[in-house]
């Protein structure tokens, strides 16, 4: 079992950048269907900036690494997703606080803080076809695990299921809501990117 420490947090953010670059076109296509087609570009640009800012050196703490992510996502990613993910990582950083490593309850608290930040900022309810539909089940799933790695594994699986479950929904928040009923039949791009971000945390723990 890997410690979810500062080195893991650095690996997580680098893995986010790798995976989001890999899925850039897919996220663009998803956003083209029900938005303005920039989500893949936004996320790729944002996490490349995170990796640049992290540099070579190890981060001092989990909280410090997450705070770098928050700052870069807020400043480099425009639109809806930048401030939402920026807030999520900032609240996550605050929830982690001084902890050197994260156990199951700490992961749950961190994910809950991130989700609550997104909801405070975007005012979306569960089922509105947004990234909240991936984050909320992730928080619930994380609560059933004892150690940190298992909590993230459960959270990532729940986020993936939550993202897939956005397909039939009609969007009630964000750009996709302008389409009304025509937003049904497509995955929400932000819910899908959330599932990649949480899966990256698991990959960073096993690597
Ligand atoms: P924009 O819509 O400004 O172009 P992006 O395409 O980068 O921004 O991000 C779109 C994603 O942001 C959506 O797929 C959705 O998951 C998320 N989103 C938009 N509005 C909200 C909101 N009010 N609450 C939560 N998530 C939202
Ligand atoms: Mg967009
Ligand atoms: Mg946009």
| Cα–Cα separations (whole angstroms), residue 49 to 44, 98, 179, 181, 187 | 9, 25, 32, 36, 26
Distance 38 CA to ligand 3 centre (A): 5
Percent of residues, the chain, with pLDDT higher than 70: 100
Distance 125 CA to ligand 3 centre (A): 21
174 Rama sector, left if φ>0, alpha if ψ -120 to 50, beta otherwise: left
CA-nearest residue for atom 27, ligand 1, is: 130
Tell whether pTM > 0.95: yes
Q: What is the mean pLDDT of residues 190-202?
A: 98
Pocket test for ligand 1, best of 43, 130, 176 (most atoms within 8 A of CB): 130
Domains in the chain: ranges and CATH: 6-206 (1.25.40.340)
Ligand closest to 125 (CA) is: 1
Residue pLDDT, tens place only, 113-165: 999 999 999 999 999 999 999 999 999 999 989 899 999 999 999 999 999 99
pLDDT at 196: 99
> What is the sign, positive or negative, of the torsion defined by CA atoms of 141, 164, 171, 41?
positive
Q: What is the mean pLDDT of residues 50-69?
A: 96
Tokens 């509105």 found at: 128
- Phi, psi (degrees; rounded to nearest 5) at 96: -70, -40
Asked if residue 59 has pLDDT above 90, the reply is yes
Candidates 95, 104, 102; CA nearest to 144 is 104
Q: Which atom of ligand 1 is nearest to the CA of 188?
A: 14
What residues contact 129, with CB distance under 8 A and at least 6 apart?
166, 169, 170, 171, 172, 173, 176, 177, 183, 188, 191
Distance 157 CA to ligand 3 centre (A): 27
Please report the ipTM that was assigned to this predicted complex. Answer: 0.99
pLDDT-derived band at 206 (thresholds 50, 70, 90) equals confident
Mean pLDDT rounded to a whole number for the chain: 97
Q: What is the mean pLDDT of residues 159-181?
A: 97
Look up residue 48 and give its two tokens: 């490349």
Asked if residue 109 has pLDDT above 90, the reply is yes
Identify the residues whose C-beta falls under 6 Å from ligand 1.
31, 35-36, 38-39, 42, 79-81, 84, 118, 122-124, 130-132, 173-175, 188-191
- Using a 10 angstrom Cβ sphere, with 0-12 exposed, 13-18 middle and 19 or more buried, the burial of residue 206 is exposed
Pocket test for ligand 1, best of 190, 191, 197 (most atoms within 8 A of CB): 190
């Amino acid at each position: 079992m890997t410690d979810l420490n500062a080195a893991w947090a650095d690996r997580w953010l680098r893995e986010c950048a790798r995976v989001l670059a890999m899925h850039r076109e897919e996220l663009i296509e998803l956003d083209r269907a029900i938005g303005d087609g920039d989500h893949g570009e936004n996320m790729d640009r944002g996490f490349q900036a995170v990796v640049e800012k992290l540099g070579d050196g190890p981060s001092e703490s989990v909280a410090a690494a997450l705070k770098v992510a928050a700052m870069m996502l807020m400043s480099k990613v425009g639109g809806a997703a930048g401030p939402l993910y920026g807030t999520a990582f900032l609240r996550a950083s605050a929830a982690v606080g001084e902890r050197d490593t994260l156990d199951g309850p700490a992961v749950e608290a961190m994910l809950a803080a991130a989700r609550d930040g997104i909801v405070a900022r975007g005012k979306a309810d569960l089922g509105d076809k947004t990234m909240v539909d991936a984050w909320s089940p992730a928080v619930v799933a994380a609560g059933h695990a004892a150690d940190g790695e298992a909590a993230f594994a459960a959270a990532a699986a729940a986020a993936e299921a939550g993202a897939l479950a956005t397909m039939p929904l009609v969007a009630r928040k964000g750009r996709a809501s302008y389409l009304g009923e025509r937003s049904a039949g497509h995955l929400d791009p932000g819910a899908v990117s959330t599932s990649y971000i949480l899966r990256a945390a698991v990959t960073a723990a096993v690597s």
